[in-house]
Structure 1
Amino acid sequence: MTTSEHEITEPVDLCLPDGSLNPAAVGWSRAPLHRANLRGWGRTKRWEYWCVTTPTHLVALTVSDLDFLALNTVYLLEYAPGGLELERTAIIPGGFGVELPDTVAGAPGSRDVVVGPERPSRGKVRVEIRDENAGTRLRARCLTPDRLPLEVDLLVARPPGHESLSVVVPWGERRFQYTSKHTALPASGRVRIGTEYLEFDGDDTWAVLDHGRGRWPRTVDWNWGAASGRTGGHTVGLQFGGRWTAGTGSTENGLCVDGRLTKIGEELDWQWSPADHLAPWTIRTPSSGQVDLTFTPFHNRSTRTETGLIDNRTDQCFGYYDGRVRTDDGSEITVERLLGWAEDVHMRW
């Protein structure tokens, strides 16, 4: 094993009855086992973020409840130079009508999530995350800035035995985060823009889930990187984090190779240029040499938000990972042009 962190193997409540962190919940698991029975208002944050990629396009759906407001977003990117980029975000003051379950939305045994009007107009957004026998159904509707209807209909498969990475990151008894990251999930479907269709199908369509539930400090900075695809003769999912976990005794770092998780307990060394996010990044394990990757971006989804309650600076770069990683059993995996992203975020919320 590459970590001394505690592995959780049985279902557990995230919180004690008074709303503080349950010490028994601190650790990591290969499947989502935590029930996020959060209590309190103002610092509680809940979200589901799905991103589905093909070799030419990606689409991302977000449903988030930040207590004092909710944000529901549809984002579409075409990679070609000068390609299509569309984003629609609906802001709901007070978060009215947005309720996220204690477990992964749309998973077996959990509650489906449906937000927004069935026929959204103007800046409104409809997002559905539903359980189906074959997997998780993702649907979304909105109008583009040119008032064309945009519709997303995707199915994310659940391969038997496919492992994910769930971690509790404890800043203290009253500030903590439960995150469940799922990579390299096969997906299929299509996106319609007006009368044109984008096919999200074939053996090279992959989904990533970022499921989050926690009680956050007012200000935080983080890195997050993920990628999915076939490389070196394997199906590989990369899941990396940085800065926000430092000093907590927990990391959100792991490799999913052919459906099997390798948990990495070492904090990663992230190197990038804040002045030029499109310059190459490096992500390495400084001691073990288990991760040695270069990330080369081709697009920066740069967001700046200042609303009084929220001060957000996000640079989410999409690109390719190259280098090598090593699994628990010592296998070296060559990583070549693995499609994914890496982000640099400052958040006051």
Structure 2
Amino acid sequence: MEREITAEVDLCRPDGGLNPAAVGWTRQPLHRANLRGWGRCKRWEYWGIVTPNHIVGIVVSSLDYAGVHGIYVLDRETGEETVRDAVVPLARGTVMAERSGVGVTSARGGGVQIELREDETGSAIEASARGVRVSVRVPRPAGHESLGVVVPWSDRRFQYTVKDVGRPASGTLTLGSQVYPIEDAFAVLDHGRGKWPYSMTWNWAAGWRPGLGIQFGGKWTEGTGSTENAIIVDGRVQKIGDELRWEYDTANWLAPWSITGERVEVEFQPFHERVATSNLIVVAGETHQCFGHFAGRVRADAGWLDLSGVVGWAEEARNRW
């Protein structure tokens, strides 16, 4: 049984090791990521925004060796991608907030400017680069819950993640001279802070339709006693403590994916594959993020729920960092 944490807690002890009291999961961000020192420390904010016409990804990250930031836009009708990435040595010009939902995270460098500002009412996202600008407001609805989890590989290697699925989003997307309204949209936040092993592979899936969201992870949590699996029903998190089985074809990423467990019988059908690779010698990675539609069912506390109409993504990421 995973422990639910209901009071504020520091992620680390004064010596920089994992605070045992921080291990568990939350419905609201309660952890202060008081990471210390340099080396193996990874900090990031990723926002994924799904509109009827576009999918937008915004990332700010500090990986010790480098800041890796980016703006991604997919035109869902044409399949055209707009990608603006920046790698900044030693993450110069990068500011990472210590707590999720509080303060300002920002990055400036390599032609990319991003500011993520948090207050008690929600999140403001401002991002720009050559030929692209994103300006989005993401309110935090009353009673809305997010899934926070601490994953402990050891007392020196651990990760704190917040996955916040299905918040409303509105604003504008500018591509060249064309301005597109962002409306009837939802946003997903991946907030990460931790000290990682050098090499790691993970799966992540997130999706939403009004009233129902899914948040699934795999591989990276195995053997830790923690999972990042949950469903979100009418804004409330229902935690799934089981590891899930992921099946997909790495020779054909657009083939259907299967994600299953005692409470999960899900098929994911991609309509677009995004490939992101990096090779900075010490830091290297390859991510296949597929956008698509979910089908099947999940078992909520009140019974099985059909996933028809849930849209989002599933991915595999392999990193040396």
The two structures have a TM-score, normalised by structure 2, of 0.97
- 1:239 maps to 215
> Does 2:208 match 1:228?
yes
- 2:104 maps to 112
- 2:186 maps to 206
Q: Which runs of 5+ in 1 are unaligned?
A: 118-122, 144-148
User: What is the Cα deviation at residue 228 of structure 1?
Assistant: 1.4
- 1:9 maps to 6
- 1:51 maps to 48
- Paired amino acid for 1:112: V
Aligned residue among 334, 339, 345 for 2:311 = 339
Aligned positions of 1:18-33 closer than 5 A: 18-33=15-30
Higher strand share: 2
> Does 2:286 match 1:277?
no
Aligned counterparts of 2:226 and 2:188: Cα–Cα separation in 1: 21
Aligned counterparts of 1:112 and 1:227: Cα–Cα separation in 2: 26
> Does 2:153 match 1:171?
yes
Aligned counterparts of 2:119 and 2:163: Cα–Cα separation in 1: 20
Aligned residue among 37, 40, 58 for 1:40 = 37
Aligned counterparts of 2:115 and 2:12: Cα–Cα separation in 1: 27
- Paired amino acid for 2:18: L
Aligned counterparts of 2:218 and 2:105: Cα–Cα separation in 1: 29
Aligned residue among 269, 288, 296 for 1:296 = 269
Aligned positions of 1:148-163 closer than 5 A: 149-163=131-145
The two structures have a TM-score, normalised by structure 1, of 0.90
| Contact 2:207 2:310 survives alignment (8 Å) | yes
Aligned counterparts of 2:88 and 2:284: Cα–Cα separation in 1: 17
Aligned counterparts of 1:83 and 1:313: Cα–Cα separation in 2: 20
> Does 2:97 match 1:94?
no
Aligned residue among 310, 322, 327 for 2:283 = 310
SS in 1 for 2:308: strand
SS in 2 for 1:24: helix
Q: Would you identify which runs of 4 or more consecutive aligned residues in structure 1 move more than 6 Å?
A: none
Pick closer, same or farther for the CA change 1:133–1:17 going to 2, 3 Å. Answer: closer
SS in 1 for 2:96: coil
1:124-150 deviation line (CA, Å, top 9, x unaligned): 10101113564211011100xxxxx31
Aligned counterparts of 1:46 and 1:261: Cα–Cα separation in 2: 24
Aligned residue among 292, 301, 304 for 1:319 = 292
| More deviation, 90-99/127-136 | 127-136
Query: How many residues end up aligned between the 2 structures?
Result: 321
Aligned counterparts of 1:134 and 1:223: Cα–Cα separation in 2: 31
Aligned counterparts of 2:118 and 2:147: Cα–Cα separation in 1: 20
- Paired amino acid for 1:171: W
Identity %: 47
Aligned counterparts of 2:41 and 2:150: Cα–Cα separation in 1: 15
Aligned Cα root-mean-square deviation (Å): 1.2
Q: Which runs of 5+ in 2 are unaligned?
A: none
Aligned counterparts of 2:117 and 2:103: Cα–Cα separation in 1: 8
